[in-house]
């Protein structure tokens, strides 16, 4: 006696074939495969995206540009003459006047003075703060304009005023305290402060030292320089490493120490999908992949590692496709790396990762076959169980 249902086997087989016929469209996958990414030039929905194949030469060129000190930009932030200090309202000055004998203008006036070994008399004028109008007053010389002048300029003007009243006067002007010109240091420093600008200048690192240094790891701090509406950011490590970036500052400049961890997102056929924080001085593509556990050996397509980024139009001289920019004037770029070529490993060591980059590793074609076979197993084993039970024959 037959206990199974002969028609059920045929029906099950028909459903299996129908399911397998369309399974390629419905098999799950983690993201775009290599084909759609490479097809940017023919896919209208991807028009405007630049696909750039990276070799060692291009990676090295990009790295060199990133590592080159921004000397052109730094010129706008550097004090061209740090030794030239000009006086301003709020500064406190002290004036010393020497007179040669016999004419003793200040001695006869009863002003505090002292006699030198040569017989000349040195008169010390009490300290004076430069007024809001930029002037100080010197006995017999009258009102002296100081704002915007150097100490030597002020001394020369006082001497010229006294020349016809005192015998061979000599004048020295000393800056007692500076309240007119200073640099502000704020952000992730131990103590926000105003650093007085002194003759000889104040550099970026000197200003940070005056604020007690940064309160976060040096390799994760970015220094922002602000001068007359212009802003420039430099990794603190770069300022320490490149003396030419440790520029002398100008009055009114603001230094902000920023602790803002940079990050890159790693997705696709890697051991881990994660967002990776990295140092202000930057990391390479090889380092970023290593921190994500590397490529997944069972799934990754070594020929299809991509870095997605927005770049400036002048980033490359020759773009592979007609140039189109977004609303912010940036170009969407996909950098492709073929890790099956050993030379690309050197390129990955050179290629610098930027903040907010996205690294995507496509799945290998064999992965689709593995998923296909897995789907067959999931369908076949239940049928085999029915056969064993005698339901399907």
283-to-276, 290, 326, 349, 352 alpha-carbon distances in Å: 11, 11, 27, 9, 6
Query: pLDDT band at 378, cuts 50/70/90?
Result: low
| 7-62 residue pLDDT tens | 545 544 454 445 544 544 444 455 566 666 666 556 666 677 889 999 999 999 99
Q: Percent of the chain at pLDDT above 70?
A: 77
Read off the pLDDT of each residue in 225-233 and give the average, rounded to a whole number. 91
Which candidate, 360, 374, 347, places its Cα nearest to that of 295? 360
Phi, psi for 272 (deg, rounded to 5): -130, 140
* pLDDT mean across residues, the chain: 82
- For domain 40-62+262-365, give its CATH number from 3.60.20.10, 3.40.50.12710, 3.10.560.10, 3.20.190.10: 3.10.560.10
Q: What is the domain partition of the chain in residue ranges?
A: 40-62+262-365, 91-101+120-177, 181-259
The domain defined by 181-259 folds into: Outer membrane lipoprotein wza fold like (3.10.560)
Q: Which residue has the tokens 């097809």?
A: 39
Same fold, 40-62+262-365 and 181-259: yes
Q: What is the SS3 assignment for 15?
A: helix
Read off the pLDDT of each residue in 325-333 and give the average, rounded to a whole number. 88
Read off the pLDDT of each residue in 302-311 and give the average, rounded to a whole number. 92
Which candidate, 333, 304, 329, places its Cα nearest to that of 320? 333
Contact criterion met (CB below 8 Å) for 166 and 185 = no
The domain defined by 91-101+120-177 folds into: wza like fold (3.30.1950)
| 232-271 residue pLDDT tens | 988 998 899 888 889 999 988 999 999 988 899 999 899 9
| 58-67 residue pLDDT tens | 999 998 887 7
Which candidate, 74, 7, 10, 379, places its Cα nearest to that of 249? 74
Separation of alpha carbons 126 and 185, rounded Å: 32
Contact criterion met (CB below 8 Å) for 74 and 247 = yes
Q: Which residue has the tokens 């029915």?
A: 386
């Amino acid at each position: 006696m037959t206990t199974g249902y002969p028609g059920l086997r045929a029906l099950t087989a028909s459903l299996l074939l129908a399911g397998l016929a369309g399974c390629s469209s419905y098999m799950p996958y983690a993201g775009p495969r290599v084909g759609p990414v490479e097809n940017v030039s023919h896919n209208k929905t991807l028009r405007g995206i630049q696909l750039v194949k990276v070799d060692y030469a291009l990676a090295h060129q990009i790295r060199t540009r990133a590592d080159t000190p921004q000397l052109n930009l730094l010129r706008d932030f550097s004090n061209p003459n740090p030794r030239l200090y000009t006086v301003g309202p709020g500064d406190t000055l002290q004036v010393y006047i020497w007179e040669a004998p016999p004419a003793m203008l200040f001695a006869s006036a009863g002003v505090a003075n002292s006699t030198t070994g040569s017989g000349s008399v040195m008169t010390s004028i009490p300290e004076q703060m430069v007024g809001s109008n930029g002037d100080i007053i010197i006995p017999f010389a009258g009102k002296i304009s100081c704002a915007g002048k150097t100490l030597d300029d002020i001394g020369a003007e006082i001497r010229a005023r006294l020349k016809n009243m005192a015998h061979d006067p000599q004048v020295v002007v000393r800056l007692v305290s500076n309240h007119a010109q200073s640099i502000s240091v704020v952000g992730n420093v131990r103590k926000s402060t105003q650093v007085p600008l002194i003759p000889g200048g104040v550099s970026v690192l000197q200003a940070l030292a005056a604020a007690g240094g940064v309160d976060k790891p040096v390799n994760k701090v970015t220094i922002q320089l602000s001068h007359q509406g212009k802003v420039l950011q430099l990794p603190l490590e770069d300022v320490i490493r490149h003396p030419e970036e440790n520029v002398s500052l100008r009055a009114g400049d603001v230094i902000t120490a920023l602790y803002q961890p940079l990050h890159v997102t790693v997705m696709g056929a890697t051991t881990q999908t994660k967002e990776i924080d990295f140092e202000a001085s930057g990391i390479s593509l090889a380092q970023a992949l290593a921190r994500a556990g590397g490529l997944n050996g069972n799934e990754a397509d070594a020929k299809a590692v991509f870095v997605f980024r927005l770049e400036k139009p002048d980033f490359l001289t020759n773009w592979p496709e007609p140039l189109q920019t977004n609303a912010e004037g940036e170009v969407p770029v996909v950098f492709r790396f073929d890790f099956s070529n050993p030379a690309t490993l050197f390129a990955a060591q050179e290629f610098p990762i930027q903040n907010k980059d996205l690294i995507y590793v496509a799945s290998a074609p064999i992965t689709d076959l593995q998923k296909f076979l897995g789907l067959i197993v999931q369908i076949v084993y239940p049928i085999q169980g029915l056969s064993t039970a005698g339901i399907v024959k």
